[in-house]
Structure 1
């Protein structure tokens, strides 16, 4: 995570879950449209969780979805549960269920993590995903082993985890591999595949979804001055161009609001 300083996160409150999902979907569509206007394609990194899935559904239902050439959208996942490919607990399966089939993705551009019925181990699945990322980067003429990510969506867990990077664990700091396996996740299922923090932070924009009163303490923790990535992984998520904390107002008690992050200006 070296290099130029990243913009500080900006807090953007929303009145409720519905508004958060709709407004985030609108933001995603705007980013995809602008990216396609600039270079003909666009890339999004998706997250799991109830709010991440709701955002996908709102994207699919939006009238502005017609502005996107979905055959030129690349889709990746920041993490996945190492379960059989059709298991309903997998982030990719939940995303597919929320999607509208009338929006025709090119399935060669959609990159689910291999399931437990395809690979012998999560380590194998992680290696396979690294190879897919490297191949995509090469096709874009990039040498860093990662394609360009226009936006990465993340969900903040009540313990401050993002993707499958959990607090109190040194693998939050891993930079030896862009994607790696997690064998003993504190949240079931224990075996997972996750992008590293550095891979997530290679995205041009990183947006952290924080929904509901149970996340208020986690949000306060990631905003605490001096908190480390190991103490609170969500605190270290930073996009190259932009970092947004997209939150519901009931997650805000006790958290100071940024002057430029008021609902009137940014929601």
Structure 2
């Protein structure tokens, strides 16, 4: 197969001559790299980074330098795409493949959604070939966080997911676990945790042998420009909550103020987590999490460290500071 041009937003000579290359372990620098057109093939030979022909992406496994805190365990697999369109194609395949794996292994696929632009990035799942090939009857759908508003409210994560995804597939309505929007924030959080505990006891949701917490098959997370995930915001006491599975917030720095959210122990018990981040406005937190940032203030996104696999899906703008 013929090689095709591969593009970086940062000049390659600058990338590999600067201190930034130290975050990519064991990269041999070859002078010939700068005397010939850069292709997927030459990139793979010269750097060890795997370019994927025709996909508009490259990836590497980011490894932590030491173990200890959640931010140092391991940063996961990082995939960078030329465009959000390329990202959405790959995310659909990743999700469909995991759905097939878990459906065959245990008859159910438990997937957790978030709000924001994540639902838009799932749009390829409702197109061919997935719309007809995925066994939607095995899906059980949950939310990592939700705004305490009616389900038909413009701010509702349920409404966002229903309009952009759920209404277009044949997931059974009884397998979609939205919050009780008739309850206040604290009651809604307690009710959702009670629901999760029942589903764990009945075997619908798996249990982590390590923690005894619910082990969702796939958690699809977005990230805010301040580095928040779910409704866990920088500097907020809830990032340290380690007793409850689901908790509530009444003073969210991002409106609306009242929300419910999974806590980090539940998030990090997941079998797979996909962190989907697009846009230059989020490049700073991405660099803090994956680069050589020396900032002592740990962002919530840096606390995402699942028992299983973590994959970052980034467009080139979000990765522009790496």
Range into which the TM-score falls when normalised by the shorter chain: 0.7 to 0.9
Q: Deviations over 1:172-228 (max 9, x none)?
A: 010110000011000001110000011111110111111011111111122345767
Call closer, same or farther: CA 1:130–1:100 in 2, change over 3 Å. closer
1:125 maps onto 2:191 in alignment = no
Deviates further, 15-24 or 172-181: 15-24
1:183 maps onto 2:250 in alignment = yes
Secondary structure of 2:196's partner? helix
Q: Is the 8 A contact 1:134 1:145 kept in 2?
A: no
Q: Is the 8 A contact 1:9 1:242 kept in 2?
A: yes
Call closer, same or farther: CA 1:100–1:201 in 2, change over 3 Å. closer
2:229 corresponds in structure 1 to 162
Shift of 1:133: 0.4
Between structure 1 and structure 2, the one with the greater Rg is 2
1:260 corresponds in structure 2 to none
Query: What is the distance in 2 between the residues matched to 1:239 and 1:227?
Result: 22
1:27 maps onto 2:90 in alignment = no
Please show how residues 84-233 of structure 1 align to structure 2 within 5 Å. Answer: 84-99=150-165, 101=167, 103-115=169-181, 118-119=182-183, 121-140=184-203, 146-223=213-290, 224=292, 231-233=298-300
Q: Deviations over 1:38-87 (max 9, x none)?
A: 1111110001112x111332212241232322122110000011111211
Secondary structure of 1:203's partner? coil
Query: What is the distance in 1 between the residues matched to 2:248 and 2:303?
Result: 20
CA-based RMSD of the aligned residues comes to 2.3
Q: Is the 8 A contact 2:112 2:142 kept in 1?
A: yes
Q: Is the 8 A contact 1:227 1:235 kept in 2?
A: no
2:305 corresponds in structure 1 to 238
Call closer, same or farther: CA 1:57–1:196 in 2, change over 3 Å. same
How many matched pairs? 249
1:55 maps onto 2:121 in alignment = yes
Query: What is the distance in 2 between the residues matched to 1:153 and 1:98?
Result: 15
Query: What is the distance in 1 between the residues matched to 2:273 and 2:236?
Result: 22
Call closer, same or farther: CA 1:203–1:225 in 2, change over 3 Å. same
Secondary structure of 2:78's partner? strand
Show structure 2 runs of 5+ residues with no match.
1-67
Secondary structure of 1:131's partner? helix
Show structure 1 runs of 5+ residues with no match.
256-267
Deviates further, 52-61 or 192-201: 52-61
Shift of 1:233: 0.3
Query: What is the distance in 1 between the residues matched to 2:298 and 2:321?
Result: 20
Shift of 1:100: 5.9
Deviates further, 6-15 or 103-112: 6-15
Shift of 1:2: 9.8
Q: Deviations over 1:140-173 (max 9, x none)?
A: 1866775431110111110000000000112101
